[in-house]
């Protein structure tokens, strides 16, 4: 009897050990994306008027990237790059898509594989929360793009107070920004939300962690805060009596709501002993539109919509307790495309990918196993404006169609004030060739964008009509 019990105990221990090894080889991913946050609006980048203790805790427990970039300077293309691990120009997602529920071509093309698609092959469960902006047509819905669950909205922005969500169906819209007023979706069903939107999105993330704690999961938490409209509850506004500027005060309250949500997520991971088995990433989709929402990009030049640093360098931090050293500051340039490559490499399985990705697995660099730079160069393109930028090492070339060439040494001149064009003409020629070689493999835009809203309406008078077969 005693021998049998010991044998049973031994088998149980071995089984538990194998389970832990299997889980550790397939770490969870919680990807927290905020919308229109300024580079200098988190404590780990020096913010003093908006406390962000939980976001800072994430950064302090892992690595903060001082040269962390996104692949575009506005939200739609930036998200397309993030979700595919590929420069979005490779598949023509070079504009912010319109809210067009009848148009299967207005969004992320079906040729592309999302991170959720890829992780599904490794047994992950995936949830998309919040802002989608990858297309409002039924064929582009998150559940058709690899995600198992969805709670959020399909448009490029949303209102925050539940009483303002008055549209039951996207076909009740009559204009682009009516999409902000649709009731939220849980998978395919409209629901009646009662909480302030940021709080509701945080709630859903925490719940999903609890439900899926025993299986590998991927949560894409795409807060629309602090994107306009600037709306916050008194709970958060009351924290900022010290800020006189009304716009900045509301913006601060919205950031504070996100920070609370990050805290709830980190606490839940800690409570369930999932910290060492979960990679948590925080970043913004682009730089802050300072003139629009009172965000602050600090010493960076430019803002959302620019290829100056203020449009593409963002608050960026990553935490994976026990794997990434805590308190690390990583100075080499990295990009949002790297998140896809990083989690795929850690999944514990060989995942065949549909397309070649542009991102790099960052873990060997963060652990000090590879001391080279992850990228030889990084590229950005604004097709309609015919503006582009290349960063290689310390140097960044910025070409704007309406002005002269600009070359900056970002290590010595982070604010991009000293144009080295006359001193280094050969360097400009070299970087221009690098861009031209890259650009040959990119596609023209495959759909109209926000700036073509009026023209699109003329060409598609049935834009918001519910069509029947």
CATH code, domain with 407: 3.30.1120.10
Which of 139, 131, 118 shows the shortest CA–CA distance to 218?
118
Ramachandran area for residue 276 (φ above 0: left; ψ -120 to 50: alpha; else beta): alpha
Report pLDDT digits (tens) over 204-223: 999 999 999 999 999 999 99
pLDDT for 369: 97
Report pLDDT digits (tens) over 178-199: 999 999 999 999 999 999 999 9
CATH code of the domain covering residue 270: 3.40.720.10
Question: Would the pLDDT of 465 be above 70?
Answer: yes
152 with 223, same domain: the answer is yes
CB 409 within 8 A of CB 425: no
Task: State how many domains the chain has.
Answer: 2
Beta bridge partners of 126: 218
> What three-state secondary structure class fits 218?
strand
The model's confidence at residue 13, banded by pLDDT at 50, 70 and 90, is: very low
289 with 420, same domain: the answer is no
Which of 137, 145, 128, 86 shows the shortest CA–CA distance to 107?
137
407 with 320, same domain: the answer is no
- Which residue intervals of 175-245 are DSSP H helices? 197-211, 234-237
Question: Would the pLDDT of 390 be above 80?
Answer: yes
Which residue segment(s) compose the domain that 206 sits in? 26-366
CB under 8 Å to 469, separation ≥6 — which residues? none
Q: Give me the mean pLDDT over the 92-108 stretch.
A: 97
Integer CA distances (angstroms), 101 to 76, 155, 232, 365, 460, in order = 16, 10, 29, 42, 12
CB 367 within 8 A of CB 75: no
The model's confidence at residue 431, banded by pLDDT at 50, 70 and 90, is: very high
408 with 328, same domain: the answer is no
Question: Would the pLDDT of 11 be above 50?
Answer: no
Question: Would the pLDDT of 78 be above 80?
Answer: yes
120 with 253, same domain: the answer is yes
CA distance 295 to 269: 30
The lowest-confidence range among 6-20, 322-336, 438-452 is 6-20
| pLDDT over 70 percentage in the chain | 94
Average pLDDT, the chain: 94
333 with 401, same domain: the answer is no
CB 171 within 8 A of CB 462: no
CA distance 412 to 14: 55
The reply to whether 13 falls in a domain is no
33 with 162, same domain: the answer is yes
pLDDT for 134: 98
The model's confidence at residue 403, banded by pLDDT at 50, 70 and 90, is: confident
Report pLDDT digits (tens) over 251-272: 999 999 999 999 999 999 999 9
Question: Would the pLDDT of 384 be above 90?
Answer: yes
> What three-state secondary structure class fits 96?
coil
CB 288 within 8 A of CB 296: yes
CB 98 within 8 A of CB 106: yes
Question: Would the pLDDT of 18 be above 80?
Answer: no
211 with 155, same domain: the answer is yes
Q: What is the DSSP letter of 136?
A: -
The reply to whether 456 falls in a domain is no
Q: Give me the mean pLDDT over the 228-256 stretch.
A: 98
pLDDT for 23: 41
Last residue of a domain, one of 366, 400, 417: 366
pLDDT for 277: 97
Last residue of a domain, one of 315, 337, 366: 366
| pLDDT over 90 percentage in the chain | 92
Integer CA distances (angstroms), 429 to 383, 423, 433, in order = 20, 12, 6
Question: Would the pLDDT of 14 be above 50?
Answer: no
The reply to whether 469 falls in a domain is no
Cα radius of gyration (the chain): 22
pLDDT for 440: 97
Q: Give me the mean pLDDT over the 358-382 stretch.
A: 97
Supply 213's token pair. 């704690």
195 with 261, same domain: the answer is yes
The model's confidence at residue 294, banded by pLDDT at 50, 70 and 90, is: very high
Active site residues: 75, 133
The reply to whether 371 falls in a domain is no
The reply to whether 7 falls in a domain is no
Integer CA distances (angstroms), 324 to 43, 135, 266, in order = 20, 35, 16
pLDDT for 17: 38
> What three-state secondary structure class fits 388?
strand
Last residue of a domain, one of 307, 337, 366: 366
CB 198 within 8 A of CB 7: no
The model's confidence at residue 21, banded by pLDDT at 50, 70 and 90, is: very low
Q: Give me the mean pLDDT over the 275-294 stretch.
A: 97
DSSP H or E run through 391: strand 387-392
The reply to whether 376 falls in a domain is no
Integer CA distances (angstroms), 94 to 37, 77, 383, 442, in order = 21, 6, 7, 10
360 with 390, same domain: the answer is no
DSSP H or E run through 430: helix 425-439
The reply to whether 329 falls in a domain is yes
Taking CA 455 as the corner, what is the angle to CA 451 and CA 458, rounded to the nearest 5 degrees?
Answer: 150
Helices 197-211 and 246-271: angle between axes, nearest 10 degrees: 10
136 with 248, same domain: the answer is yes
The reply to whether 143 falls in a domain is yes
60 with 189, same domain: the answer is yes
Question: Would the pLDDT of 469 be above 50?
Answer: yes
CB 431 within 8 A of CB 443: no
CA distance 420 to 407: 5
């Amino acid at each position: 009897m005693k021998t049998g019990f010991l044998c049973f105990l031994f088998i149980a221990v071995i089984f538990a050990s194998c389970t832990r090894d299997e889980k550790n080889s397939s770490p969870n991913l919680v990807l927290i994306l905020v919308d229109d946050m300024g580079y200098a609006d988190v404590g780990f980048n020096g913010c003093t008027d908006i406390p962000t203790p939980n976001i800072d805790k994430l950064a302090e427990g892992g690595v903060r990237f001082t040269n962390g970039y996104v692949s575009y300077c506005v939200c739609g293309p930036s998200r397309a790059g993030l979700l595919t691990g590929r420069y979005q120009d490779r598949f023509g997602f070079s504009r912010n898509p319109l809210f067009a529920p009848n148009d299967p071509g207005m969004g992320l093309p079906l040729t592309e594989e999302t991170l959720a698609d890829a992780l599904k092959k490794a047994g992950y469960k995936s949830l998309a929360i919040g802002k989608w902006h990858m297309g409002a047509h039924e064929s582009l819905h998150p559940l058709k793009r690899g995600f198992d669950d969805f709670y959020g909205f399909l448009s490029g922005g949303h209102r925050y107070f539940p009483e303002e969500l008055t549209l039951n169906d996207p076909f009740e819209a009559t204009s682009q920004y009516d999409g902000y007023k649709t009731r939220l979706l849980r998978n395919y069903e409209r629901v009646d939300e009662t909480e302030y939107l940021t709080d509701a999105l945080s709630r859903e993330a925490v719940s999903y962690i609890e439900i899926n704690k025993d299986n590998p999961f991927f949560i894409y938490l795409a807060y629309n805060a602090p994107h306009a409209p600037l709306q916050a509850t008194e709970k958060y506004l009351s924290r900022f009596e010290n800020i006189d500027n009304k716009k900045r005060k509301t913006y601060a309250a919205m950031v504070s709501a996100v920070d609370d949500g990050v805290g709830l997520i980190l606490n839940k991971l800690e409570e369930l002993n999932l910290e060492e088995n979960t990679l948590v990433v925080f970043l913004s989709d682009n730089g802050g539109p300072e003139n629009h929402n009172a965000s602050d990009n600090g010493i960076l030049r430019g803002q959302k919509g620019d290829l100056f640093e203020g449009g593409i360098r963002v608050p960026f931090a990553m935490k994976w307790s026990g794997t990434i050293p805590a308190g690390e500051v990583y100075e080499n340039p990295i990009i949002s495309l790297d998140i896809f490559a990083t989690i795929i490499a850690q999944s514990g399985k060989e995942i065949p990918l549909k397309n070649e990705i542009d991102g790099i697995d960052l873990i060997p660099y963060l652990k000090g196993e590879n001391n080279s730079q992850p990228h030889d160069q990084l590229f950005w393109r604004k097709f309609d404006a015919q503006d582009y930028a290349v960063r290689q090492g310390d140097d960044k070339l910025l070409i704007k169609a309406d002005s002269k060439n600009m070359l900056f040494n970002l290590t010595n001149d982070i604010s991009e004030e000293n144009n080295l064009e006359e001193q280094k003409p050969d360097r400009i020629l070299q970087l221009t060739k690098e861009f031209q070689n890259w650009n040959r493999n990119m596609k023209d835009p495959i759909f109209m964008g926000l700036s073509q809203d009026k023209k699109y309406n003329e060409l598609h008078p049935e834009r918001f009509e519910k069509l029947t077969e």
